[in-house]
Amino acid sequence: MDYVYGPGRNHLFVPGPVNIPDQVIRAMNRNNEDYRSPAVPALTKILLEDVKKIFKTTSGTPFLIPTTGTGAWESALTNTLSPGDRIVSFLIGQFSLLWIDQQQRLNFNVDIVESEWGQGANLDVLASKIAADKVHTIKAICIVHNETATGVTNDLAAVRKILDHYQHPALFLVDGVSSICALDFRMDEWGIDVALTGSQKALSLPTGMGIVCASPKALEATKTAKSVRVFFDWNDYLKFYKLGTYWPYTPSIQLLYGLRAALDLIFEEGLDNVIARHGRLAKATRLAVEAWGLKNCTQKEEWFSDTVTAVVVPPYIDSSEIVRRAWKRYNLSLGLGLNKVAGKVFRIGHLGNLNELQLMGCLAGVEMVLKDVGYPVKLGSGVAAASAYLQNTTPLIPSRI
């Protein structure tokens, strides 16, 4: 290729696609198989059971769709809604913006609740809209659990509380792309109707599998949903589920075995331990940012994301230059600022199968890059702050005690 790798490993700290564990890379290192043999349905059956655990649902029905997060969005919308349906959608950053763009192009009537980038979804506005909607014109609430562009996590339990308070029947559709398997996520408890993620995020797989889970109410909604859909139609899946062959079209054999390995790793560590680890690494990152004298793009602590931190740079620095230089000099991959915050923030993704010292390498790299671009950082300061916290909180690796 034109851009060969420098010596040593790439330090991948974009908020997706994330590092794939070696065990998963190994599991995927294989030839194709006939997906109509008894082996692939047997594997699929167990995967569909096990994948529900990462959504914390027992009543949901999962779909493993050969697509990306964008396709998973489309599947969530078109299977449950009809053109013209009114939906409330929160615009708080680039990914919620893109989802809204999709909602509009799919001809829904999108009632946008906008916040400043760096803030969470404005649930007060939601509450008043719901309160006002006595005749239930609102068919769905669409919310991005974790806005990857700004590092903002929304309070899903609060959304449910509002809907329940007003006994509003709107469907509750959640983009969990950069949250599921990394942040606290409770599909059943929070009454989420459609939740979705992509394989290349906290599950730590390659891109290519959109993982969507539908509540019984969402499945019921498919019966009246008039949106045109074929590739993304859940009913085609359900038909093959009943037949026990599971696949309306060819799945990626490699991703199925990869998902098996990824789930095994998560269950072995324990999903709650995985989530706690994300919390620790995120806190350490924020402490480093603070030590550098820089601001978190996220404006309040209640919204701090445990999967991605968007760091605001001083006006005299172009954050894109930080990203470029990190890659060119230290083989460190950071996330760009997008759209409204382009040039103003860079992003550190700390999700997926990561550990403390990988993060330390990243933080040390960010420090050097900050100095490179003329920011008066005290080298070692972020690492010191982060490691002071981690040295107190990192557990022993259970299997090694």
Question: Which of the residues 72 through 101 are near its own copies (CB under 8 A)?
Answer: 73-74, 83, 101
Is position 5 an interface residue for its own copies (rule: CB under 8 A)? yes
Q: Does 249 bind its own copies (CB under 8 A)?
A: yes
Q: Please, which residue, 156 or 362, has the CB nearer to its own copies? A: 362
Q: Which of residues 266-325 bind its own copies (CB under 8 A)?
A: 268-269, 274, 277
Nearest residue to 151 via CA among 56, 289, 10 = 289
Cα–Cα separations (whole angstroms), residue 317 to 162, 298, 310:
42, 19, 15
Residue 122 binding its own copies, by CB under 8 A: no
Structure tokens at 358: 């990988």
Asked if 367 touches its own copies (CB under 8 A), the answer is yes
**How many binding residues for its own copies (CB under 8 A)?**
123
In degrees to the nearest 10, what's the CA dihedral of 315, 119, 187, 237? -60
Select the residue interacting with its own copies from 134, 242, 301, 397 (CB under 8 A).
397
**Any contact of residue 109 with its own copies (CB under 8 A)?**
no
For the chain, how many residues are written? 401
Residue with Cβ nearer its own copies (159 or 326): 326
What is the maximal distance between C-alpha atoms in the chain? 64
Nearer to its own copies, 86 or 217 (CB): 86
Nearest to 150 by CA among 274, 306, 378, 308: 308
Residues with Cβ < 8 Å from 301, sequence gap 6 or more? Answer: none
Helices (H), 270-395: 271-291, 319-330, 356-372, 381-393
The residue among 187 and 311 lying less far from its own copies, judged by its C-beta, is 311
User: What's the min distance (Å) between Cβ of 228 and its own copies?
Assistant: 6
- Residue 339 binds its own copies, judged by CB under 8 A: no
**Minimum distance from residue 378 beta carbon to its own copies (Å):** 8
CB of 383 vs its own copies, minimal distance in Å:
5
Figure out which of the listed residues 161, 207, 299, 340 binds its own copies, where binding follows CB under 8 A: 207
> Are 15 and 311 within 8 A, CB to CB?
no
In angstroms, the Cα distances linking 39 to 24, 49, 81 are: 19, 16, 35
Binding of residue 10 to its own copies (CB under 8 A): yes
333 lies in the site for its own copies, by CB under 8 A:
yes
Region of 128-136, 144-152, 217-225, 380-388 interacting with its own copies (CB under 8 A) = 380-388
The enclosing H or E element of 171 equals strand 171-175
Residues 208-247 that bind its own copies (CB under 8 A): 208, 227-233
325 is an annotated ligand-binding site residue: no
346 φψ region: left (φ > 0), alpha (ψ -120 to 50), beta (else): beta
Residues placed in the known binding site for substrate: 347
